[in-house]
Structure 1
Amino acid sequence: MLKARLYDFSLFFTAIAVAFGLGSFIQDKNTFFIALSFYWLFSMLYNHLRIIAQNGTTKFDYGINYSLSFGIFAGPLGLFIFEGIYRFSVYFLKKITKTADENEFFDTFYNIGAHVLIYSFGYYLFHLGYPFFEKIPFGFWILICILAVVTIMTSIALLSTAFYILGEIRSLQEMVQFLRQSINWLDQGKTAFTNGLLLLLLEQQQWEMIVALFILNYLVSRSFQSKSQMIKNKIERDKFEQMAYTDFLTSIPNRAFMDLKMSELNQTGEKLGIVVADIDKFKRINDTYNHAVGDRVIQHVANTLKSYLAEEDYVFRSGGEEFTLIIRNRSLDDTIKLVEKIRKGIETSSVEVEYQSVIHPITITSSFGLYYFKVNQYTSMEKGYIYADQLLLQSKELGKNKVTYKDELSRQTG
């Protein structure tokens, strides 16, 4: 941490040397203070829209930055004054609202030093390159875009160095990954064109247009953030819903989701087969090996069941070693053939498990109860499940590894 603090202050004092040693006021004071007031006001307004990201335990924020245009307009000394006032304003605001991080004070010196050095570099590159670029079509905008890329790359280099000192980045591969995560080319395009327009308006002292551009940029950013938050909230809701309806062991839908789908299917009136399946002699597997092996067997059966079903069918883990299938859009004969195929598939397959550092192939069988009916003609989905469960018990009593079925429509059993 001491190295990181030394790094922060070395950037800060280098920035002071650049600002006061090489810089000077290149604008009259009245013009400078008007520009400073507008930039400070809208930078503070925009600050709460900045996106917070994290690399390991270290947080950093990013978003559109106005320092490129202000640095070119006001020079290194003017830029230092702006960054100092703006960054400490942010710091004191966070202290007042109690949102400041533990290292916020030291990070403020890093932010001032890094931004002054980065955009002072941009200032010198602009004045070095402008005589050449002004001779070619759209040369000003090409130069601004180049400076936007150069300054963001310089910013990432300084930030990567800070993370390396903190131990958050340990290899070149991690640095490349951080680089990819940090660059959004659409954001860079927005930064380049906003700063280019601001610079042109500053040179002409078009204060009303500058205010209008700041407001427009704020409204667009605010709208984007609101939509992003809505999407993020929906993704989080969908994720929690998926977690609530997914069995953690097998990653197939759980009993709660089965109840939901049964309620939905009660409204369809379609013909379907509901199947309750159970792993035969499962307790013996747990007693012979352990529960970890038993879990592996359950996972194997779940994957096997899924592999036989069509997209419109459902499979649920409805109990410990019990599964429920809903087979749709098939005749009774086709449904029986499919369940028999599944039964044989489980019987002829094996699952390899590790027990006491030795690999053991385990073969298993499963029993099935199938109830075929037209939903809510006489029987609801919930009743159909109960009947299928009773048919499963008959399969168990008949010696296991069997399919017992009943067709409600023709009263056919087998």
Structure 2
Amino acid sequence: MKRVNVFIMCLFLVSVATAISFGKLMTDTGTFLIALLFFWIFSTLYSHLSVIVNKGKIRMDYSISYGLAISLLAGPLGAFIFEGVQRFIVYLIRKMTKTADKEEFIHTFYNIGAFALNNSIAYFLFIWLSPALEHLPLNLGFWLLIMLIVSIVSLLSDCYLITVFSLSGEMKSIKEAFEFIKTRNLFDMGKTAFSNGLLFVFLNEQRWEMLFALFFLNYLVSRSFFEKTNLLQHKMERDKFKEMAYTDFLTEVHNRAFMDHIMNELDQSVEELGIVVCDIDNFKRINDSYNHAVGDRVIQQFAATLRQHLRDEDYLFRSGGEEFTIFLRHRSYDECLVLVEQIRSSVACQPAEAEFKGQPIFIAYTATFGLYYHQTDQLIDMKSAYVSADDLLLFTKDRGKNGFSAKNGKDAVQEPFFVKNGYWSISLDCRRISMPGP
């Protein structure tokens, strides 16, 4: 960071030299002091509305500067006095409120040097180019010149920041520099040009009431935008934390907490759905034969296989270690039966790929399923229906793994039936279905 600090101090000293060499204010002292008071008050108010973005070790404050107008009025010395007073007062406020970062002091020198030097350059451009454009009608020349000056100053600011990022190692290629320049918001540049242009006009005419009105209007607009941005950012952060809280870190499917949440929601609906509870057969043997990293890969493969067969409207949860729960929505009981058998067969046919002792291995495994078909507006709630599906899983395991058992909760007298190794036959609506295994 030493090279960055040297660059910042050089920038500051060049701005000091420019102000001193010019030697005088380009307006009377009384007008300048009144303008300085107005600009200082509102610039200080605006300082807490800036958007702060951290880029590596560098903190960037995005806010619209109003120093251009006072610089065009008072020249380079006025620009330096304004930036020095305003930036150091902001620094002291942040120190007192303990919101300053550890590099705040050197950053203050950067802000004074960069903005004072840029606004001095803007003053010289204005004086130099004004005669060539003053003959255009409707003050068009004035506004074109202000837009041109703001564009040049913005590009210079980007060049300073690119230099800082390059010296600090945060930016390492020309491509990154161009990408950074492209992030410049044209609407912000337009707002800066229009606001500073009007402020300069009101300063020249000493229309202090209009100056106050424009500052106050800009403050209200900036405050509204700032609060909406904060609300949106907080909502995005809450949504992200909520998503993290409801996501299983290993498989990236929903976790048990989210399953409880969805079950409470579904209890308030009127819906028929298949509740499937399943787990990997002989999973402990996999962990004991290899290691837990291999076991994790098998769980991830199992989750991926389950997800392949589901629609966007279905829910998949990791409800235990190697146990998963599925809510199959908007399907008939028959369709759920067929889908569960398809999933069981797919699991048995897709070995999990893992790495063990530096070598790739393929582990064949199977899974066992329990399906309970449930209507959510009945007396039985979702938690009880889930327990019934879990009981069907245990019912299957007692009779042999790599199979499934199912029961239609709408038919209270129906006994659960057991399907082993994919060969099963059962009467459904007077139709006989038979499905071979893998």
Q: TM-score, normalised by structure 1?
A: 0.95
Counterpart for residue 161 of structure 2? 159
Q: Could you tell me how far 1:378 is from its partner in structure 2?
A: 4.3
Once the two structures are superposed, the pairs formed by residues 231-242 of structure 1 within 5 Å of their partners are 231-242=232-243
Alignment of 1:160-309 (within 5 A): 160-181=162-183, 183-309=184-310
Letter of the structure 1 residue corresponding to residue 181 of structure 2: L
Q: Deviations over 1:348-385 (max 9, x none)?
A: 12332111111112222111001113235242211111
The amino acid that maps onto 1:408 is G
Match of 1:373, SS state, is: strand
Measured in 2, the distance between the counterparts of 1:265 and 1:64 equals 49
Residue pairs, 1:334-349, within 5 angstroms: 334-349=335-350
* 1:277 partner SS: strand
In 1, Cα distance between equivalents of 2:97 and 2:332: 67
Note the alpha carbon deviations across 1:138-184, whole angstroms, 9 max, x for none.
Answer: 23222212221211110111122123223333333443344344x22
Map 1:7-406 to 2 at 5 A.
7-22=7-22, 24-136=24-136, 138-181=140-183, 183-406=184-407
Indicate the SS of the match to 1:102: coil
2:339 maps to a residue whose letter is L
Which secondary structure does the structure 2 equivalent of 1:272 belong to? strand
- Which amino acid in 1 is paired with 2:145? L
Which secondary structure state, in structure 1, belongs to the residue aligned with residue 237 of structure 2? helix
SS in structure 2 at match of 1:250: coil
Please state whether the residue corresponding to 1:263 is helix, strand or coil: helix
* C-alpha distance in structure 2 between counterparts of 1:115 and 1:280, whole Å: 69
SS in 2 for 1:361: strand
Deviation of the 1:127 alpha carbon: 2.1
Q: Give the deviation of 1:186 after TM superposition.
A: 2.1
What amino acid maps onto 2:124 in structure 1?
Answer: Y
In the TM superposition, what is the alpha-carbon distance from 1:67 to its structure 2 partner?
A: 1.4
TM (normalized to structure 2)?
A: 0.90
Alpha-carbon shift at residue 276 of structure 1 (Å): 0.4
Deviations 1:213-264 (A, max 9, x none): 0000001101111111111111111111111111111111111111111112
Tell me how far apart the structure 1 counterparts of residues 2 and 275 of structure 2 sit (CA, whole Å): 67
Number of residue pairs aligned between Structure 1 and Structure 2: 413
Q: Distance in 2 between matches of 1:342 and 1:191?
A: 61
Label 1:180 to 1:328 Cα distance change in 2 as closer, same or farther (>3 A).
same
Runs of at least 5 residues in structure 2 that lack an aligned partner in the other structure: 418-438
CA contact (8 A) 1:73 1:202 kept: yes
Distance in 1 (CA, whole Å) between partners of 2:374 and 2:94 is: 65
Contact kept, 8 Å, 1:129 with 1:143, in 2: the verdict is yes
Deviates most, 26-35 or 336-345: 26-35
In structure 1, what is the Cα distance between the partners aligned to 2:237 and 2:228?
14
Query: Offset of 1:339 from its aligned partner?
Result: 0.7
Q: Structure 2: which amino acid aligns with 1:16?
A: V
* d(CA) in 2 for partners of 1:386, 1:62: 55
Structure 1 SS opposite 2:316: strand
Equivalent residues of 1:246, 1:253 under 8 A apart: yes
Q: What amino acid is aligned across from residue 132 of structure 2 in structure 1?
A: F
Question: What letter matches 2:171 in structure 1?
Answer: I
Distance 1:346 1:74 in 2: 78
Distance in 2 (CA, whole Å) between partners of 1:239 and 1:250 is 17
8 Å CA contact retained: 1:63, 1:187: no
Q: Which moved more, 1:138-147 or 1:335-344?
A: 138-147
**Equivalents in 1 of 2:43, 2:269: separation in Å?**
57
Instruction: Return 120-129 or 252-261, whichever deviates more.
Output: 120-129
- Which AA in structure 2 matches 1:271? E
The 1:82/1:307 distance shift into structure 2, 3 A limit, reads: same
Amino acid at match of 1:58: I
